[in-house]
Amino acid sequence: MTEIARGLEGVNVTTTKLCRIDGQKGELVYAGYNIYDLAEHSTFEEVAFLLWNQRLPNAEELAALKAELVAERELSPLVNTVLREIWAEVRPMRTLEVAVEIIGAEDRKSSDLSNAQLKKTAARLTAKMATVIAMYDRLRHGKEPVAPRADLNHAANFLWMLTGEEPTELAKRTFDVALILHAEHEMNASTFSAMVTASTLSDMYSAIASAIGTLKGPLHGGANEAVYKVLEEIKTPDQIKAHVDALTARGERVMGIGHRIYKTTDPRANILEKLGHKVAETSPDRHYFDLSLKLRDYLAEKLQGKPLYPNVDFFSASVYKMLGIPSDLYTPIFALARITGWTAHLLEQYADNRLVRPNAVYQGEENKTYQPVATR
Protein backbone atom coordinates (compact mmCIF):
# COMPACT_ATOMS: atom_id res chain seq x y z
CA MET A 1 0.00 0.00 0.00
CA THR A 2 1.41 3.40 -0.99
CA GLU A 3 2.02 5.54 2.08
CA ILE A 4 0.37 8.95 2.09
CA ALA A 5 1.88 11.75 4.20
CA ARG A 6 -1.43 13.38 5.10
CA GLY A 7 -0.91 17.04 5.93
CA LEU A 8 2.76 16.41 5.00
CA GLU A 9 3.28 15.63 8.68
CA GLY A 10 6.87 14.65 9.40
CA VAL A 11 7.98 15.35 5.81
CA ASN A 12 11.15 17.44 5.34
CA VAL A 13 10.68 19.63 2.27
CA THR A 14 13.81 21.76 2.41
CA THR A 15 16.71 22.90 4.57
CA THR A 16 16.80 26.29 6.29
CA LYS A 17 19.17 28.45 8.30
CA LEU A 18 16.33 30.50 9.74
CA CYS A 19 14.59 28.59 12.44
CA ARG A 20 14.79 25.47 14.56
CA ILE A 21 11.93 24.19 16.72
CA ASP A 22 12.14 21.41 19.26
CA GLY A 23 8.50 20.56 19.86
CA GLN A 24 9.22 18.18 22.73
CA LYS A 25 11.36 20.63 24.70
CA GLY A 26 9.41 23.73 23.67
CA GLU A 27 12.45 25.34 22.09
CA LEU A 28 12.30 27.99 19.38
CA VAL A 29 15.47 29.39 17.84
CA TYR A 30 15.80 32.06 15.11
CA ALA A 31 19.11 31.74 13.22
CA GLY A 32 20.92 30.51 16.33
CA TYR A 33 19.26 32.84 18.87
CA ASN A 34 16.82 31.51 21.44
CA ILE A 35 13.38 33.19 21.33
CA TYR A 36 13.57 33.98 25.07
CA ASP A 37 16.77 36.02 24.47
CA LEU A 38 15.34 37.78 21.44
CA ALA A 39 12.12 38.65 23.29
CA GLU A 40 14.13 39.99 26.22
CA HIS A 41 16.82 41.96 24.40
CA SER A 42 16.10 42.61 20.72
CA THR A 43 13.68 44.66 18.65
CA PHE A 44 11.50 43.71 15.69
CA GLU A 45 13.82 45.59 13.32
CA GLU A 46 16.83 43.62 14.62
CA VAL A 47 14.94 40.36 14.18
CA ALA A 48 13.95 41.33 10.63
CA PHE A 49 17.62 41.92 9.82
CA LEU A 50 18.56 38.66 11.53
CA LEU A 51 16.08 36.68 9.43
CA TRP A 52 17.07 38.35 6.16
CA ASN A 53 20.81 38.01 6.81
CA GLN A 54 21.19 35.23 9.40
CA ARG A 55 23.17 37.52 11.68
CA LEU A 56 22.37 40.45 13.94
CA PRO A 57 23.09 43.92 12.50
CA ASN A 58 25.77 46.30 13.76
CA ALA A 59 24.62 49.81 14.72
CA GLU A 60 25.15 51.22 11.22
CA GLU A 61 23.28 48.35 9.54
CA LEU A 62 20.41 48.63 11.98
CA ALA A 63 20.13 52.38 11.39
CA ALA A 64 20.11 51.77 7.62
CA LEU A 65 17.33 49.17 7.88
CA LYS A 66 15.26 51.43 10.15
CA ALA A 67 15.63 54.28 7.65
CA GLU A 68 14.65 52.00 4.77
CA LEU A 69 11.51 50.86 6.62
CA VAL A 70 10.57 54.46 7.46
CA ALA A 71 11.06 55.50 3.82
CA GLU A 72 8.74 52.69 2.65
CA ARG A 73 5.82 53.43 4.99
CA GLU A 74 3.80 55.68 2.69
CA LEU A 75 1.25 54.08 0.35
CA SER A 76 0.91 54.96 -3.33
CA PRO A 77 -2.12 56.94 -4.58
CA LEU A 78 -3.47 53.73 -6.18
CA VAL A 79 -3.30 51.71 -2.94
CA ASN A 80 -4.90 54.67 -1.11
CA THR A 81 -7.74 54.83 -3.65
CA VAL A 82 -8.37 51.08 -3.59
CA LEU A 83 -8.46 50.98 0.23
CA ARG A 84 -10.98 53.81 0.27
CA GLU A 85 -13.12 51.88 -2.24
CA ILE A 86 -13.08 48.46 -0.61
CA TRP A 87 -12.97 48.92 3.18
CA ALA A 88 -16.73 48.62 3.64
CA GLU A 89 -17.02 45.30 1.80
CA VAL A 90 -13.72 43.53 2.38
CA ARG A 91 -12.42 41.96 5.59
CA PRO A 92 -8.91 42.84 6.85
CA MET A 93 -6.96 39.76 5.70
CA ARG A 94 -8.34 39.96 2.18
CA THR A 95 -7.62 43.71 2.18
CA LEU A 96 -4.02 42.88 2.96
CA GLU A 97 -3.91 40.32 0.16
CA VAL A 98 -5.35 42.80 -2.35
CA ALA A 99 -2.99 45.58 -1.19
CA VAL A 100 0.07 43.33 -1.50
CA GLU A 101 -0.83 42.43 -5.09
CA ILE A 102 -1.33 46.13 -5.98
CA ILE A 103 1.98 47.09 -4.38
CA GLY A 104 3.50 44.33 -6.52
CA ALA A 105 1.72 45.51 -9.66
CA GLU A 106 3.24 48.97 -9.14
CA ASP A 107 6.76 47.63 -8.69
CA ARG A 108 8.43 47.59 -12.10
CA LYS A 109 11.15 45.39 -10.67
CA SER A 110 8.80 42.75 -9.26
CA SER A 111 10.18 40.08 -11.59
CA ASP A 112 13.80 40.82 -10.58
CA LEU A 113 14.53 37.83 -8.34
CA SER A 114 18.09 38.88 -7.40
CA ASN A 115 18.87 38.68 -3.69
CA ALA A 116 19.44 42.48 -3.43
CA GLN A 117 16.12 43.32 -5.07
CA LEU A 118 14.21 40.69 -3.06
CA LYS A 119 15.54 42.17 0.19
CA LYS A 120 14.21 45.58 -0.90
CA THR A 121 10.83 43.99 -1.60
CA ALA A 122 10.88 42.33 1.84
CA ALA A 123 11.51 45.67 3.56
CA ARG A 124 8.90 47.43 1.38
CA LEU A 125 6.19 44.90 2.24
CA THR A 126 7.11 44.89 5.93
CA ALA A 127 6.72 48.67 6.09
CA LYS A 128 3.68 49.09 3.86
CA MET A 129 1.56 46.23 5.22
CA ALA A 130 1.50 47.98 8.60
CA THR A 131 0.26 51.20 6.98
CA VAL A 132 -2.40 49.28 5.00
CA ILE A 133 -3.90 47.70 8.10
CA ALA A 134 -3.84 50.88 10.17
CA MET A 135 -5.41 52.88 7.33
CA TYR A 136 -8.09 50.22 6.77
CA ASP A 137 -9.04 50.31 10.45
CA ARG A 138 -9.21 54.12 10.50
CA LEU A 139 -11.42 54.23 7.39
CA ARG A 140 -13.92 51.69 8.70
CA HIS A 141 -14.24 53.69 11.91
CA GLY A 142 -15.04 56.79 9.88
CA LYS A 143 -11.67 58.37 10.68
CA GLU A 144 -8.99 59.76 8.41
CA PRO A 145 -5.73 57.78 8.21
CA VAL A 146 -2.90 58.93 10.49
CA ALA A 147 0.39 59.67 8.72
CA PRO A 148 3.35 57.51 9.81
CA ARG A 149 5.93 59.05 12.15
CA ALA A 150 9.60 58.74 11.27
CA ASP A 151 10.71 59.04 14.90
CA LEU A 152 8.87 55.86 15.95
CA ASN A 153 10.01 52.29 15.46
CA HIS A 154 7.90 49.83 13.50
CA ALA A 155 5.82 48.59 16.45
CA ALA A 156 5.19 52.02 17.98
CA ASN A 157 4.43 53.57 14.60
CA PHE A 158 1.78 50.95 13.90
CA LEU A 159 0.02 51.68 17.21
CA TRP A 160 0.32 55.39 16.46
CA MET A 161 -1.19 55.02 12.96
CA LEU A 162 -3.96 52.85 14.39
CA THR A 163 -5.03 55.16 17.23
CA GLY A 164 -3.54 58.57 16.47
CA GLU A 165 -2.29 58.57 20.06
CA GLU A 166 1.20 58.20 21.47
CA PRO A 167 1.37 54.65 22.89
CA THR A 168 2.77 54.11 26.39
CA GLU A 169 6.29 52.69 26.72
CA LEU A 170 4.81 49.43 27.96
CA ALA A 171 2.40 49.20 25.01
CA LYS A 172 5.25 49.93 22.57
CA ARG A 173 7.48 47.25 24.04
CA THR A 174 4.67 44.69 24.39
CA PHE A 175 3.72 45.09 20.75
CA ASP A 176 7.37 45.01 19.67
CA VAL A 177 7.81 41.68 21.49
CA ALA A 178 4.57 40.32 20.04
CA LEU A 179 5.94 41.07 16.56
CA ILE A 180 9.23 39.34 17.43
CA LEU A 181 7.36 36.25 18.65
CA HIS A 182 5.30 35.99 15.47
CA ALA A 183 8.13 36.79 13.04
CA GLU A 184 9.18 33.28 12.10
CA HIS A 185 8.20 29.64 12.64
CA GLU A 186 9.95 27.29 10.24
CA MET A 187 7.83 25.43 7.66
CA ASN A 188 4.31 26.29 8.84
CA ALA A 189 1.35 26.22 6.42
CA SER A 190 1.58 29.85 5.24
CA THR A 191 5.36 29.71 4.77
CA PHE A 192 4.96 26.53 2.76
CA SER A 193 2.27 28.19 0.70
CA ALA A 194 4.64 31.08 -0.09
CA MET A 195 7.34 28.55 -0.94
CA VAL A 196 5.10 26.66 -3.39
CA THR A 197 4.19 29.88 -5.21
CA ALA A 198 7.82 31.06 -5.36
CA SER A 199 8.97 27.65 -6.58
CA THR A 200 7.23 28.36 -9.90
CA LEU A 201 9.43 31.50 -10.08
CA SER A 202 6.38 33.68 -9.58
CA ASP A 203 7.36 36.91 -7.83
CA MET A 204 7.65 37.65 -4.10
CA TYR A 205 4.43 39.70 -3.99
CA SER A 206 2.33 36.80 -5.29
CA ALA A 207 4.08 34.40 -2.93
CA ILE A 208 3.20 36.67 -0.01
CA ALA A 209 -0.41 37.04 -1.18
CA SER A 210 -0.59 33.20 -1.15
CA ALA A 211 0.83 33.14 2.37
CA ILE A 212 -1.69 35.72 3.61
CA GLY A 213 -4.57 33.65 2.22
CA THR A 214 -3.22 30.59 4.01
CA LEU A 215 -2.60 32.35 7.32
CA LYS A 216 -6.24 33.48 7.38
CA GLY A 217 -7.65 30.04 8.27
CA PRO A 218 -8.73 29.29 11.86
CA LEU A 219 -6.41 26.29 12.13
CA HIS A 220 -3.45 28.65 11.55
CA GLY A 221 -3.22 32.42 12.07
CA GLY A 222 -6.97 32.84 12.35
CA ALA A 223 -6.88 31.04 15.70
CA ASN A 224 -6.09 34.23 17.66
CA GLU A 225 -9.35 35.85 16.58
CA ALA A 226 -11.13 32.54 17.23
CA VAL A 227 -9.71 32.53 20.80
CA TYR A 228 -11.16 36.00 21.31
CA LYS A 229 -14.59 34.75 20.16
CA VAL A 230 -14.37 31.88 22.66
CA LEU A 231 -13.56 34.35 25.48
CA GLU A 232 -16.51 36.49 24.38
CA GLU A 233 -18.79 33.46 24.51
CA ILE A 234 -17.51 32.27 27.90
CA LYS A 235 -17.86 35.78 29.39
CA THR A 236 -17.25 34.89 33.05
CA PRO A 237 -15.04 32.32 34.85
CA ASP A 238 -18.05 30.38 36.16
CA GLN A 239 -19.00 29.58 32.55
CA ILE A 240 -15.63 28.04 31.61
CA LYS A 241 -16.43 24.46 32.59
CA ALA A 242 -19.87 24.35 30.94
CA HIS A 243 -18.57 26.00 27.76
CA VAL A 244 -15.49 23.79 27.33
CA ASP A 245 -17.34 20.60 28.25
CA ALA A 246 -20.09 21.34 25.72
CA LEU A 247 -17.52 22.20 23.04
CA THR A 248 -15.52 19.00 23.51
CA ALA A 249 -18.71 16.89 23.76
CA ARG A 250 -19.58 18.17 20.28
CA GLY A 251 -16.09 17.05 19.16
CA GLU A 252 -15.00 20.62 18.51
CA ARG A 253 -11.49 21.95 19.11
CA VAL A 254 -10.51 24.51 21.68
CA MET A 255 -8.88 27.35 19.82
CA GLY A 256 -5.36 28.40 20.85
CA ILE A 257 -4.63 24.89 22.10
CA GLY A 258 -2.53 22.23 20.39
CA HIS A 259 0.15 22.44 17.76
CA ARG A 260 1.48 20.22 14.99
CA ILE A 261 5.03 20.56 16.33
CA TYR A 262 4.83 21.55 20.03
CA LYS A 263 3.93 18.74 22.38
CA THR A 264 4.49 21.01 25.39
CA THR A 265 3.67 24.69 25.96
CA ASP A 266 4.68 26.87 23.03
CA PRO A 267 7.49 29.12 24.37
CA ARG A 268 5.80 32.09 22.71
CA ALA A 269 2.71 31.50 24.87
CA ASN A 270 4.93 31.58 27.98
CA ILE A 271 6.47 34.91 26.92
CA LEU A 272 3.09 36.43 26.06
CA GLU A 273 1.64 35.29 29.37
CA LYS A 274 4.49 36.98 31.25
CA LEU A 275 4.01 40.17 29.25
CA GLY A 276 0.26 39.93 29.80
CA HIS A 277 0.76 40.04 33.57
CA LYS A 278 2.76 43.30 33.20
CA VAL A 279 0.18 44.92 30.92
CA ALA A 280 -2.70 43.75 33.14
CA GLU A 281 -1.22 45.59 36.17
CA THR A 282 -2.31 48.91 34.68
CA SER A 283 -4.96 47.86 32.18
CA PRO A 284 -8.62 48.75 32.75
CA ASP A 285 -9.39 45.94 30.31
CA ARG A 286 -7.77 42.92 31.96
CA HIS A 287 -10.92 40.78 32.18
CA TYR A 288 -10.17 38.54 29.16
CA PHE A 289 -6.59 38.06 30.29
CA ASP A 290 -7.76 36.83 33.70
CA LEU A 291 -10.35 34.67 31.96
CA SER A 292 -7.60 33.20 29.72
CA LEU A 293 -5.54 32.26 32.78
CA LYS A 294 -8.50 30.45 34.31
CA LEU A 295 -9.38 28.82 30.98
CA ARG A 296 -5.78 27.62 30.63
CA ASP A 297 -5.94 26.06 34.14
CA TYR A 298 -9.21 24.28 33.43
CA LEU A 299 -7.94 22.97 30.08
CA ALA A 300 -4.76 21.68 31.75
CA GLU A 301 -6.97 19.69 34.11
CA LYS A 302 -9.39 18.49 31.43
CA LEU A 303 -6.80 17.59 28.78
CA GLN A 304 -4.41 15.97 31.27
CA GLY A 305 -2.36 13.24 29.62
CA LYS A 306 -2.92 14.62 26.09
CA PRO A 307 -0.15 16.62 24.39
CA LEU A 308 -2.37 19.68 24.09
CA TYR A 309 -1.01 22.95 25.50
CA PRO A 310 -1.49 26.67 24.81
CA ASN A 311 0.01 27.88 21.54
CA VAL A 312 1.04 31.43 20.60
CA ASP A 313 -2.54 32.41 19.79
CA PHE A 314 -3.88 31.54 23.23
CA PHE A 315 -2.56 34.65 25.00
CA SER A 316 -2.13 36.97 22.02
CA ALA A 317 -5.92 37.46 21.95
CA SER A 318 -6.22 38.85 25.49
CA VAL A 319 -2.91 40.78 25.32
CA TYR A 320 -4.01 42.55 22.11
CA LYS A 321 -7.36 43.25 23.72
CA MET A 322 -5.57 45.04 26.58
CA LEU A 323 -3.66 47.08 23.97
CA GLY A 324 -7.04 48.20 22.59
CA ILE A 325 -6.67 46.40 19.24
CA PRO A 326 -9.91 45.24 17.51
CA SER A 327 -10.15 41.42 17.41
CA ASP A 328 -10.38 41.10 13.63
CA LEU A 329 -6.95 42.76 13.36
CA TYR A 330 -5.25 39.99 15.36
CA THR A 331 -4.62 37.81 12.31
CA PRO A 332 -3.47 40.74 10.12
CA ILE A 333 -1.06 41.66 12.93
CA PHE A 334 0.28 38.11 12.76
CA ALA A 335 0.92 38.77 9.05
CA LEU A 336 2.61 42.12 9.83
CA ALA A 337 5.16 40.16 11.86
CA ARG A 338 5.39 36.96 9.80
CA ILE A 339 6.13 38.92 6.61
CA THR A 340 9.75 38.92 7.80
CA GLY A 341 9.88 35.12 8.17
CA TRP A 342 7.97 34.50 4.94
CA THR A 343 10.30 36.73 2.93
CA ALA A 344 13.39 35.26 4.63
CA HIS A 345 12.30 31.76 3.52
CA LEU A 346 11.65 33.12 0.04
CA LEU A 347 15.21 34.49 -0.10
CA GLU A 348 16.39 30.94 0.62
CA GLN A 349 13.96 29.45 -1.89
CA TYR A 350 14.85 31.75 -4.80
CA ALA A 351 18.57 31.23 -4.14
CA ASP A 352 18.20 27.45 -4.48
CA ASN A 353 14.92 26.79 -6.23
CA ARG A 354 13.23 23.56 -7.14
CA LEU A 355 9.62 23.43 -8.32
CA VAL A 356 7.38 22.05 -5.57
CA ARG A 357 5.27 19.39 -7.21
CA PRO A 358 4.30 16.37 -5.10
CA ASN A 359 2.10 13.46 -6.23
CA ALA A 360 -1.44 12.37 -5.48
CA VAL A 361 -2.39 8.71 -5.57
CA TYR A 362 -5.31 8.18 -7.95
CA GLN A 363 -8.24 6.29 -6.47
CA GLY A 364 -10.93 7.13 -9.02
CA GLU A 365 -12.56 4.99 -11.68
CA GLU A 366 -10.90 3.76 -14.90
CA ASN A 367 -11.88 2.86 -18.47
CA LYS A 368 -15.16 4.73 -18.59
CA THR A 369 -16.91 5.29 -21.95
CA TYR A 370 -17.54 8.92 -22.90
CA GLN A 371 -21.26 9.71 -23.34
CA PRO A 372 -22.32 12.83 -25.27
CA VAL A 373 -24.10 15.36 -23.03
CA ALA A 374 -27.51 14.74 -24.66
CA THR A 375 -27.49 11.09 -23.59
CA ARG A 376 -26.32 11.59 -19.99
- Residue ranges that bind ligand ACO, judged by CB under 6 A: 7, 219-221, 223, 253-260, 308, 311-313
- Of 224, 228, 236, which is closest to residue 287 (Cα–Cα)? 236
Least distance to ligand ACO from the beta carbon of 375, Å? 45
Least distance to ligand ACO from the beta carbon of 253, Å? 4
Q: For Cα atoms 309, 175, 323, give the angle at the middle one, nearest 5 degrees.
A: 90
Known catalytic residue at 243: no
Q: How many residues does the chain have?
A: 376
- Among 107, 176, 266, 313, the one annotated catalytic: 313
Longest CA–CA span in the chain (Å) reads 75
Nearer to ligand ACO, 83 or 208 (CB): 208
CB contact at 8 A, 51 and 183: yes
Least distance to ligand ACO from the beta carbon of 222, Å? 8
Write the DSSP symbol of residue 369: P
Least distance to ligand ACO from the beta carbon of 254, Å? 4
Nearer to ligand ACO, 90 or 247 (CB): 247
The residue type found at 85 is E
The residue type found at 84 is R
- Among 22, 220, 243, 328, the one annotated catalytic: 220
Nearer to ligand ACO, 149 or 294 (CB): 294
- Helix pair angle (154-163, 44-53), 10° resolution: 130
The residue type found at 16 is T
Nearer to ligand ACO, 70 or 312 (CB): 312
Known catalytic residue at 220: yes
Known catalytic residue at 352: no
Least distance to ligand ACO from the beta carbon of 97, Å? 18
What strand order describes the sheet that includes 19-22?
19-22, 27-30, 33-34
CB contact at 8 A, 79 and 86: no
Beta-bridged to residue 20, according to DSSP, are 29
Nearer to ligand ACO, 163 or 340 (CB): 340
The residue type found at 245 is D
- Show which residues are catalytic: 220, 259, 313
